[in-house]
Each structure stands twice: as C-alpha cells, then as structure tokens.
Structure 1
Amino acid sequence: MTSGSNTNTSVQQPPFPIFDGENYDIWCVKMKTLFLSYDIWEFVEEGYEEPENVEILSNARKQQLKETKKKDAKALHLIQQGVANPIFPRIINATTSKEAWDILQKEYRGTLKDVAKCRA
C-alpha cells in the first residue's frame, strides 16, 4: 500500500518558443531570455573568432576554443529547434549561432518600436 503523499517535485518545462513566421519580435525576446539562462547570449549576439592556425595554440587555448565552439553549437541548436520546418531552410547552411540569428533578424525583425513593446 502506498502512502497518500506525493513527493514528486519535478517542475514541468514551459513549451519551447517556436517561430512560425509570425510575431518574430516576441519570439526573439523569448529566445534571448533562453540564451541568457544558458549563459550563451554573447555567442548569438557577437559571435566568436576562430584562429587561422589552431595548431600553434597552447593546449589551454585549444581547450578554451573547444568550449567556445561547444557553447556556440548549443546556441545554434536552440535556434534550429526554435523555428518551424518551413522557416528552417533559411538557416540550414548557417554554421554559427550568430549567422543563423542574423539571417532571421534580417528577414523578420520588425521596427525598434515593436521590439521595445515586447520588452515592456
């Protein structure tokens, strides 16, 4: 016989924001918050520079570059998962999160007034 108390304390995750071609500015704010929660917004906003010759880097710098690429890949993955299938072909060839984000911004971003409204 089981006790009457329920000790399940798991928190249900809210639905992942999916951009379907409408309300880009709202989706953008939600995604930015998601990136900030994973501490990867800087990769989306600023990108990163990959050295021309990785072979001459110190082991510490190589490890740092590996971590940078991993974080950027996570951000790119979130962007890819955050767009509906009809939108995905626009970013299918993007190799960094900044590249994918910039493509979507260029095509769908509204006015700055609209963005400010979403943040209020």
Structure 2
Amino acid sequence: MALKKSVVADGQSTNRPPLFDGSNYPYWSTRMSVYIRAIDYEMWDVITDGHFSPSTINVVTNEMILKLRFEWTEVKTKKVLTNFKAINTLHCALTPTEFNKVLSCTTAKQV
C-alpha cells in the first residue's frame, strides 16, 4: 500500500523560535520579536534596552561598582537571569553559521 503525501504544508512551531539562516531578516525579525514578547516581555526589554547589572554607588569615588553575587536580591537575580534567557532564545533561533557570528556576545542586546 502506497503512503499518501500530506496535502497540508508543515507550519511553524509555537514551541520553537523561528530559525534565522541569514536570509530574509525582516521576516525573521518580526516573527522573532513577537515570539520573544509572547514568552516574556521583560526578555524583549533586555534585548532592546540592554541587560541589568546589579550595582551600587561607591560613596567615596561616586562611581558605579558591580555588586558581588551574594549581595543580589531575588528580584535582581531574576533580572540578570532574564538576560541569559534572552541570549539562549536567540541562540536557539540561529543556524550554526549565524551562531558563529555572535558567539562572543555576552548580552542579548549584542546578539
């Protein structure tokens, strides 16, 4: 018995980000921005505005210094984690060729 081919074309997945292969950036960018905002709008903020680094002001020098990890509150930890979630989501949306172009980026905004 012969197998019938599906008449319906495969669609996109709501569980995986749209894949960027280096072509048709406007299409991918629009779909990716909606995908990320649907997951977590704060991730979109991290991508567009930049990441959050817990810091404090040195009262002697009046300079911003990064807080040590043990000084972070739960809220600040969540904000830092959002940057890494965004980076991971962006990395999952890239082919190996495109990934190699951004592998040294340390923030979602850089990616």
Question: If the TM-score is normalised by the length of the shorter chain, which range does it land in?
Answer: 0.5 to 0.7
Which has the larger share of helix?
1
The amino acid across from 1:54 in the alignment is K
The amino acid across from 2:25 in the alignment is Y
**CA–CA separation in structure 1 for the residues paired with 2:84 and 2:66:** 21
Two-structure CA RMSD over aligned residues (Å): 2.3
Counterpart check, 1:54 vs 2:57: no
CA contact (8 A) 1:43 1:98 kept: yes
Tell me the residue number matched to 1:66.
77
TM-score of the pair, normalised by structure 2: 0.68
**CA–CA separation in structure 2 for the residues paired with 1:84 and 1:64:** 33
TM-score of the pair, normalised by structure 1: 0.63
Counterpart check, 1:34 vs 2:30: no
CA contact (8 A) 1:54 1:62 kept: no
Which has the larger share of strand?
2
Percent identity of the aligned residues? 20
**CA–CA separation in structure 2 for the residues paired with 1:62 and 1:21:** 39
**CA–CA separation in structure 2 for the residues paired with 1:48 and 1:32:** 17
Deviation at 1:16, TM superposition (A): 3.1
Q: Residues 92-111 of structure 1 correspond to what in structure 2 (within 5 A)?
A: 92-100=103-111
Q: Relative CO higher for 1 or 2, CA cutoff 8 Å, sep ≥ 6?
A: 1
**CA–CA separation in structure 2 for the residues paired with 1:13 and 1:31:** 12
State the aligned residue count: 87
